[in-house]
Amino acid sequence: MVNEGRDIVSITSDLIRGNTETIILSHLIEKDSYGYEINKSIKKKTNNEYELKEATLYTAFRRLEQGEMIISYWGDQTTGARRKYYKITAFGKKVLEQNKVDWEEAKSLIDSLI
C-alpha cells in the first residue's frame, strides 16, 4: 500500500516537472516574481505537498529566457541580497495560452484512456 501511494505521488511530480515552464508562466502572468516566491506559491497551492527543486526551477528560467518568453531584471532591495525578478513577455503569454489549450486536450485524452 505504501508503494502504491508513492507511485501516485511520483506520477504527479512527473507531471508537475513536465509542466514546470507552464506553471512558471502562469505565475508570472499575475505579477512579476522571483524564484523562491514562485516556489512558495506552488507549495501553498498544493497544500505543502509539492515544491520544485531549485535546479529544476532555475533551469526552466534559463530556458524560458532563451526562448524569449520571459525577461529578467534585478530588484532594488535596500537590505539583504538582490533578487532577480522575472517578467512574462507578450510571446510568453501566447505560449501560456497555447499550453493551456494543449493541457486541456491532453487531460481529456488521458481521461479517455484510463
Closest approach, Cβ 19 to other proteins, in A, equals: 17
Burial of residue 47 (number of CB atoms within 10 Å: 0-12, 13-18, 19+): exposed
Which residues does residue 88 pair with via DSSP β-bridges, in sequence order? 70
CB 95 within 8 A of CB 26: no
Residues 34-63 that bind other proteins (CB under 8 A): 34-36, 39-40, 51, 53-56, 58-59, 62
Regarding 91 and contact with other proteins (CB under 8 A), the answer is no
Shortest distance in whole angstroms from residue 106 CB to other proteins: 25
For other proteins, the binding residue among 1, 2, 81, 90 (CB under 8 A) is 81
Query: What is the Cα gyration radius of the chain?
Result: 16
Identify which of residues 5 and 80 has a Cβ nearer to other proteins in the complex.
80
Nearer CB in complex with other proteins: 36/91: 36
Tally of CA atoms within 13 A in the half-sphere of 21 that contains its CB: 21
Helix axes 35-45, 54-66, angle to 10 degrees: 120
Where along the sequence are the contacts to other proteins (CB under 8 A)? 34-36, 39-40, 51, 53-56, 58-59, 62, 66, 80-84
